[in-house]
Amino acid sequence: MSLTEKFEKIFKSLLPAPFTIAVLLTFLTFLLAFFFTETEEKNHLLEIFSFWEQGVWNPKLLVFTVQMMLMLVLGHVLALSDSVNSIVSYAVKRCDSTPKAAAIVTFFTILVSLFNWGLGLIFGAIFAKKVAEHASINNIKINYPLIGACGYSGLMVWHGGISGSAPIKVAESGHFLADQIGIISQSETIFSTMNISVSILLLIVLPGLMYIIGKKENKEKIISIYEIKQEKEISIIGAEKLDNSKFIAWIFGGSILFYAFYKAIILPENITLKVITPNYINLLLLAIGIIMHKTFINFLRAVDNAIVGSSGILIQFPLYFGIMGIINQSGLTLLMSNFFINISNEITFPIFTFLSAGIVNIFVPSGGGQWAIQGPIIVEAATQLGVSIPKSIMALAYGDQLTNMLQPFWALPLLGITGLKAKDILPYTLILFIVGFSIFIFGLLFF
């Protein structure tokens, strides 16, 4: 059994479904709160239940759930549009060998993922699949598992992009930690010198790395397993013409896009990054999605296909919020933050945050859910130590996104689209993990 097969077996034997993990973490948090915190109430257990319930149904956090679902769904919708398909088809023509294909797929997947994580995930999967089809048709020898791993590389950079859950949430007025840290502009997080430098390094190093690996791993020609489905022409009658009207769709999408432009460029006295919030990003995605799909009916069909991928967010986020409710209100936040304070200083705290976020992501494979749980602890500890809050947020973001290369949860859509298995791409995502680890550590220590 190879190292990667052993690694995959360990994951399967130790990690149940993400929902089950969320339930087990809930039980664990209950036990920690029950045995390590005190209360004036007679029935401590029932009080902990009330903390959990308040967290599950926290209105601000439920809004956050919908925001993250829309970000994934609308990004996926964009990836399914004819326009994106045309761009991919054009780029695929340049992928006439494993090294070139690996570098091109990695570069564009990372670039798209820095814009939107949902779009990047599906874009990378579709890109890898198209490369496979092109190679099969043109009898080109190619390493398909490597190309599949390249299509997944965007999940290692997304939290440092403009759709990163933690940075965009703290930039929003009234977020759940606003009382402690206020509003933190993306100029201090996503568009900071540190994150821009790290992102540029990733954009240069990772495609080059995959090119070198492609030189050494140019395996046999793949076999095409794809079928081109011919859509049947459907007669349009009556009011259905409105559903299929390009004019109405473009007017509606264009109006939203104009308003978004007005809000960001014309309305404010000074152009700032404060306008970039989850709601603003989703507004742009909605407008662009409708315009790129040309008609409402095409847009809604894409939504039907995309919405399945958001089910994990819908059902798991409330459980994470319940955990956060217990941690915050029972006093566990103070206990956990004191632990970090005792083992850290101003230099090492971002590193410990990065490492802990990477570990937590194995069990909580969601940037938004992880921020809900770890955010209060990190903010409290950083405040006590006098460490930069924006840098601490980005340290969490880096740790969360890095171990996506080990955690197969978000790879499921890609595996479904490409027809690959987790063990096929894992050898290459492990390499991405090692190199990415070095780059993120460098960024946190140097800046």
Domain assignment present for 401:
yes
Contact 102, 213 (CB under 8 A): yes
**141 DSSP 8-state letter:** B
Distance CA(367)–CA(363), nearest Å, equals 11
**Closest to 140 measured CA to CA, from 95, 102, 103, 105:** 95
Kindly report, residue by residue over 155-168, the tens digit of the pLDDT.
Answer: 999 999 988 989 98
CA distances from 25 to 31, 272, 372 (A): 10, 39, 14
Residue 445 has pLDDT above 50, yes or no: yes
pLDDT band at 1 (very low <50, low <70, confident <90, very high): low
Domain assignment present for 264:
no
Residue 370 has pLDDT above 50, yes or no: yes
Contact 34, 308 (CB under 8 A): no
Residue 221 has pLDDT above 60, yes or no: no
Domain assignment present for 4:
no
Tokens 């606003």 locate to 178
Contacts (Cβ under 8 Å, ≥6 apart) of 138: 96
Which residues constitute the domain of residue 439? 14-222+307-446
Distance CA(275)–CA(54), nearest Å, equals 30
The dihedral built from the CA positions of residue 260, 261, 262 and 264, taken in this order, carries a sign that is: positive
Distance CA(176)–CA(140), nearest Å, equals 52
Helix, strand, or coil here: 221?
A: strand
Domain assignment present for 292:
no
Distance CA(112)–CA(115), nearest Å, equals 5
- Our count of domains for the chain comes to 1
Domain assignment present for 403:
yes
Domain assignment present for 176:
yes
Q: What is the pLDDT of residue 303?
A: 92
Domain assignment present for 300:
no
Phi and psi dihedrals of 208, rounded to 5?
A: -65, -40
Kindly report, residue by residue over 197-219, the tens digit of the pLDDT.
Answer: 999 999 999 999 999 999 886 65
Residue 317 has pLDDT above 60, yes or no: yes
Domain assignment present for 323:
yes
2-6, 49-53, 189-193: lowest mean pLDDT where? Answer: 2-6
Contact 67, 279 (CB under 8 A): yes
Contact 81, 289 (CB under 8 A): yes
